Structure 1
Amino acid sequence: MSTHTVPAPAYDDAEKGTLEVDERQTTLVSTNYKDEKKGDLTVITTAVVPVQKAPSKPKKKVSVWIIWTLWFNTYRKLFTFVFTFNMIGIGLAASGHWPYAARYTGAMALGNLNFAILMRNELFGRILYLIVNTLFAKWTPLWWRLGCTSVLQHLGGIHSGCALSGVCWLALKVVNNFRHHAVNHDSILIMGTVTNIAVIVSAISAFPWVRNTHHNVFERHHRFVGWLGLILTWVFTILGDSYNLETQTWNLSGKHILRQQDFWFAMGMTTFIIIPWLCVREVPVDIELPSPKVAIVRFERGMQQGLLGRISRSSIMEYHAFGVISEGTHSKYHYMICGVQGDFTRSLVNDPPKTLWTRQLKFAGVSNTSTLYKRGVRICTGTGIGAALSTCLQSPYWYLIWIGSDQEKTFGPTINGLITRHIGPERLLLWDSKKRGGRPDTMKILKEAYYSWNAEVVFITSNYIGNTEIMRGCKEEGIPAFGTLWDF
């Protein structure tokens, strides 16, 4: 096996979990371990033997319990806890058993929305990762470090739970306003209704079936209707805080408004939304096109490992996130691998730009917690190398498994050079599914690497089918693993 093969293209059938075997030949691979304590792994190709096409093996049935535990992950646990807690509160407020919440329903709504936005703030996320990586790296019990990684990776559960709860609290606020319409001003009733509609549209546009199948629809509605909702929220908040229901008069005193808690929640929401946009810059880029399937985008300055960046051709429209590849903060450049999958990535190949808009403040991904572990395995398929490579470039304690198709030709000399310069054969396994007639027995090579490398955890970046197969295999084997997320 070549130890300096490189990147992989868009996912082919082999990478989607179907093993294709050439009718004429198959490659036999034997694996020898020099020193299990040091984790040295030598992969030797022993023969190429003519064979008939191997019969397809029936897929092993996965237990219902494993499927359930993987489905009801930390994301859904956090969402369930947050949303259930809020629904209990709404029930108590609506029934009159929680007078405080009944009186300050607007504050309850904005408090939830404020926290939802905070969970998606890049700066807040980077600070959380920094604190966890600094305080708990390597010395704490493994179960604790795994728990930290799981919570950080699934903060979206709190985001979704708080966002949906905020919509429900806001709906209760509007309903209560209409229940007391006789003493409420018409402008407050109208603004409450319009604000609620805008927030609902913004929330619905982020549902998985919209986000994953109609990215531009999601982005335009979630962002721009969300911004409209924020403006309407300010108007609704100020009107509500300024109107006295008992005297039915307006109190336009600034001091009075500043004393209201929902005013400060609205201020927090605005601040958390603005911060990332203050970091948007148009930067020069150099685009390498090793094949029609991939664009390698090069940016100036190095980065720490485990980060993802958003790029766009315009300052506010159509941002797409990609993993950041860098040799370290000392490096002159960092890279993004953009596989051709849609209009945006296709345009990078067909019409390479000289500049791109990006947020200089990158957000942390699950790989950023790799510093918590003494040793680990990073397995990826295809363009997933973009999110996986930095961890293995910057740490000698991480083993890289990369399953792709015609990788060296598809990804070109830049990515190949990074791998050959920084990752030795003792911690590298590259599998070219095109040359080898299909995808390997992924769990077999993963288990061999995991145990021989004395790893504590596995990080996975693959397509949906590949990710599901590996996660189920790791769960069955008892191997701690974290896979790709498709925000639920």
Structure 2
Amino acid sequence: MSPDPRTPAPAYDDAEKGTLDQVNVYPVDKKPLSFPADEKKDIFPDEKKALAPFTAPATKQDPFASMKATGKKKPASKATIVKLWYNTYRKLFTIAFSVNMIMFGFAVSGHWPYARKFAGAFAVANFNFSILMRNEIFGRCLYLIVNTLFAKWTPLWWRLGCTSVLQHLGGIHSGCAISGIIWLTFKVVLTYENHLSENNAILALGLLTNVAVVVTAISAFPWVRNTHHNVFERHHRFVGWTALLMTWAFTIMGDIYDTKTRQWVPDGRHLVRQQDFWYVMGMTTWIVLPWICTREVPVDIELPSPKVAIVRFRRGMQQGLLGRISRSAVKEYHAFGIISEGTHAKYHYMICGVQGDFTRSLVNDPPRTLWTRELKFAGVSNTSTLYKRGIRICTGTGIGAALSTCIQSPYWYLIWIGSDQEKTFGPTISGLIHRHIEPERLLLWDSKVRGGRPDTMKILKQVYHDWNAEVVFITSNYIGNSEMMEGCKEAGIPCFVTAAILPQ
């Protein structure tokens, strides 16, 4: 009996796992609940209802046809592991945190009265800069500036540095956030030292604010974020917003309360002269801006197998972008890579492999609409325009983050490792690949047919030299990312991991 798409979908835990042995394709237009058969009611009336089976064009001789699947890789040297561990993320964190702690040391020791007096301003200034580093509009502007000014003509080391810094802006985000918590704690301690002159409401709010920002920081630890995504969403985002509102209130209340007269002085002119007021205004602006782009949009969902949902949206996109989608307007947003033929295209796509409740619901109960931010955010793949030639290697659902780069640029080579890719991901993805990527810059490794994963470093080394590439972008699961990064580092091949699961 054919599997029913409404039964619970199996987990798609590892990026390189393939589909089940028995897989049926469930045409979207045959699901009356989500996609009316009536042409007049179809959310995509111009799309053809019947698609002819896709037949891949003839390809040249595969240079890796005789390669056999391999077992475990040789472990990397300790020096390589240390270099990869202390990456640009941690370097930027070290710089941001160290500068703050030097200033904090002068303030605590009494050698810098200004910092002691305006400890609250130092706290919200750090929070302001931390939020700015995660602002999607600010990020798009940075990527645009770098890609416009430095593409191809600058030295390779400079372009690699630009990519690395843009990829690891989170280091500044974390460094400033932790520093802001320390400055806020210092401000609360100073407030309690002067408790006889302070209002009880300010004392209580200061303590609660400190607790809230600590909870926000803990919920963003990698082991929480990667293994308990919903906990991260509810605490880091929503508790974080609450904490920032409390910080806003704590700061403003401190500005308008006169400790000498022990009275509230709601003087607007006095308030706007306070530097921490403007830091708070900036912080609020960075939070609100991305949300003004949130819209509920119609979607079309193709289910080529019980493990994957291909979500189609209107309008084309430039390469290297990611989008957040949710069934709700305000919570549980999930980010996926965007596949598109270009800004001129009619549609763009997201590949959602079944990994949790949200992606499983896309297969079991496909929606007609989803909430998304119309302004997409840039991923590290967006810097592919900096390089003359490059390689995109991915496994399984990682094709969602990799494919646009190779479709939109003839100078990028695609290596896709997976199991029975055409059956698992369907004719839409296969068609995009074979229509836009020539055989001479394409390697599809079917681990089901070839008996396992290949020696990825042997392939990468050969393609890197034959293709005359400058860089390798990797999208896999945690183990795959680590193995390929270690191998590339020891081989002297510049590489970047383009997925959010990069260990931090």
TM-score normalized with structure 2 length: 0.87
- What are the residue-to-residue correspondences of 1:366-385 with 2, within 5 Å? 366-385=380-399
Of stretches 127-136 and 82-91 in structure 1, the one that deviates more from structure 2 is 82-91
Aligned equivalent of 1:434, options 439, 442, 448? 448
Q: Which residue of structure 2 aligns with residue 446 of structure 1?
A: 460
Give me the whole-angstrom Cα distance separating, in 1, the residues matched to 2:288 and 2:387.
Answer: 34
SS of corresponding position for 1:482? strand
Aligned equivalent of 1:43, options 35, 45, 62? 62
Alignment of 1:420 with 2:439, yes or no, is: no
Shift of 1:223: 1.6
Q: Which amino acid aligns with 1:172?
A: F
Q: 1:251-278: per-residue Cα shift (whole Å, max 9, x none)?
A: 2110000100111111111110001111
Give me the whole-angstrom Cα distance separating, in 2, the residues matched to 1:465 and 1:94.
Answer: 44
Alignment of 1:68 with 2:82, yes or no, is: yes
- What are the residue-to-residue correspondences of 1:386-425 with 2, within 5 Å? 386-425=400-439
Give me the whole-angstrom Cα distance separating, in 1, the residues matched to 2:431 and 2:473.
Answer: 23
Give me the whole-angstrom Cα distance separating, in 1, the residues matched to 2:458 and 2:189.
Answer: 58
- What is the number of equivalent residue pairs in this alignment? 452
Q: Which residue of structure 1 aligns with residue 154 of structure 2?
A: 140
Give me the whole-angstrom Cα distance separating, in 2, the residues matched to 1:318 and 1:244.
Answer: 42
**Contact kept? 1:340, 1:346, Cα under 8 Å:** yes
Of stretches 369-378 and 89-98 in structure 1, the one that deviates more from structure 2 is 89-98
Q: 1:301-350: per-residue Cα shift (whole Å, max 9, x none)?
A: 00000000000001011100000000000000000000001010000000
Of stretches 199-208 and 427-436 in structure 1, the one that deviates more from structure 2 is 199-208
Alignment of 1:477 with 2:491, yes or no, is: yes
Shift of 1:58: 6.6
SS of corresponding position for 1:212? helix
- Rate the CA distance shift 1:14–1:335 in 2: closer, same or farther, 3 A: closer
Of stretches 61-70 and 128-137 in structure 1, the one that deviates more from structure 2 is 61-70
Give me the whole-angstrom Cα distance separating, in 1, the residues matched to 2:169 and 2:149.
Answer: 19
Q: Which residue of structure 2 aligns with residue 299 of structure 1?
A: 313
Q: 1:202-238: per-residue Cα shift (whole Å, max 9, x none)?
A: 1111111211111111101112112211221222112
Shift of 1:485: 4.0
**Contact kept? 1:11, 1:382, Cα under 8 Å:** no
SS of corresponding position for 1:434? helix
- Rate the CA distance shift 1:156–1:287 in 2: closer, same or farther, 3 A: same
Q: Which residue of structure 1 aligns with residue 368 of structure 2?
A: 354
SS of corresponding position for 2:450? coil
Q: Unpaired segments of 5 or more residues in structure 2? A: 1-10, 19-58
- Rate the CA distance shift 1:352–1:444 in 2: closer, same or farther, 3 A: same
Q: Which residue of structure 1 aligns with residue 241 of structure 2?
A: 227
- Rate the CA distance shift 1:419–1:177 in 2: closer, same or farther, 3 A: same
Taking only the aligned residue pairs, the percentage that are identical comes to: 73
Q: 1:386-434: per-residue Cα shift (whole Å, max 9, x none)?
A: 0000000000000000000010000000000000100000100000000
Q: 1:346-370: per-residue Cα shift (whole Å, max 9, x none)?
A: 0000000000000111110010000
- What are the residue-to-residue correspondences of 1:8-157 with 2, within 5 Å? 10=12, 43-44=62-63, 59-157=73-171
Q: Which residue of structure 2 aligns with residue 271 of structure 1?
A: 285
Aligned equivalent of 1:286, options 279, 297, 300? 300
Give me the whole-angstrom Cα distance separating, in 2, the residues matched to 1:305 and 1:59.
Answer: 32
**Contact kept? 1:15, 1:439, Cα under 8 Å:** no
- Rate the CA distance shift 1:265–1:393 in 2: closer, same or farther, 3 A: same
**Contact kept? 2:139, 2:378, Cα under 8 Å:** yes
Give me the whole-angstrom Cα distance separating, in 1, the residues matched to 2:150 and 2:71.
Answer: 43
- What are the residue-to-residue correspondences of 1:196-207 with 2, within 5 Å? 196-207=210-221
